[in-house]
Amino acid sequence: MGLGGLRIVLVEPAGPINIGAIARVMKNFGLDHLVLVNPQCDPLSSEALMMAVHATEILESAVLVPTLPEALHGCVRAIATTGRFRSLQTPLENPRTALPWLLEEPEKPAALIFGREDRGLSNEELNYAQRFVCIPTSQDYVILNLATAVAICCYELSQSVKQPDIQTLPQTELAPIDVVEAYYQQLESLLLKIGYVYPHTAASRMEKFRQLYNRAYLKTGEVAMLRGILQQVEWAIKNQRDGENL
């Protein structure tokens, strides 16, 4: 296992000092793929470059994209970090036990997602991850600085690489996130068409479907099977309507 293919994804980072410090700590622990989603500052500013010290090449090679789905394009595994508890069935996990899962298919891209300095990730953005980690902190002061959170996670990832006997989930050929996302879009369209969800309830109901499928760790062939079922349902609905109109 290696860290070379792992993406560190920062969503709308606003502090150039944080971005520079993150580049530095990534180099400390052997990561070099930084993706910035709609950054709110200049990642090549003098402050960022000063904090990066000898890791300026990570800033210079950082990929800038406008949306989180674009940052995750091609990834098969994604973990999101969050400092708050969510009202869903997917548990918040400890970084030490969860993060090694990102490295189980080293030949395929994976992502570790961090949110904004002031408010983290939105519920919609969290939906793009399959698992969630929360760094345990003192109840006296639970909020971590963004660069500190990235540093802790990079350290844990580097330690998991050094420990080949670490316990992880069984390795599977997971479907790329964008492939699963296309299925969600097709499913939502069909559910709206048949009246199972309505425009004002679709987002909350689809979040529950995402949670269900994230627990299943879908493979590419399984997504194709599910999409085939939806296509057959759409065909049956169309033919039934055509028959009624004769």
Residue-wise pLDDT for 201-225, tens only, equals 999 899 889 888 988 889 989 999 9
1 located within any domain: no
pLDDT one-digit tens code per residue, 110-145 = 999 999 999 999 989 999 999 999 999 988 988 899
Tell me how far apart the alpha carbons of residues 133 and 187 are, in angstroms, rounded to a whole number: 28
pLDDT of residue 3 exceeding 90: no
Mean of pLDDT values over 27-39: 96
Range in 98-102, 127-131, 160-164, 175-179 with the lowest mean pLDDT = 160-164
Going by pLDDT thresholds of 50, 70 and 90, the confidence category of residue 166 is very low
Residue 133 bridge partners (DSSP): 81, 93
User: Structurally, how many domains does the chain consist of?
Assistant: 2
Structure tokens that stand for 183 in this block: 């299925």
pTM of the model: 0.80
Q: Which two tokens stand for residue 193?
A: 């068409």
pLDDT given at position 107: 84
Query: Do 95 and 213 have their domain in common?
Result: no
pLDDT-derived band of residue 167, with 50, 70 and 90 as boundaries?
very low
| Each residue's pLDDT tens digit, 227-239 | 999 999 988 988 8
Assess if residue 171 is contained within a domain. no
Give the pLDDT of residue 1: 44
Residues in a beta bridge with 114: 10
Domain span at 112: 6-161
Whether 166 maps to a domain, the answer reads no
Q: What is the pLDDT averaged over residues 71-100? A: 85
24-44 b/e (C-beta count within 10 Å ≥ 16 → b): bbbbebebbbbbbbebebebe
Residues 69 and 36 in one domain: yes
> What CA–CA distance (Å, rounded) separates 26 from 32?
6
Q: Which two tokens stand for residue 209?
A: 């479907």
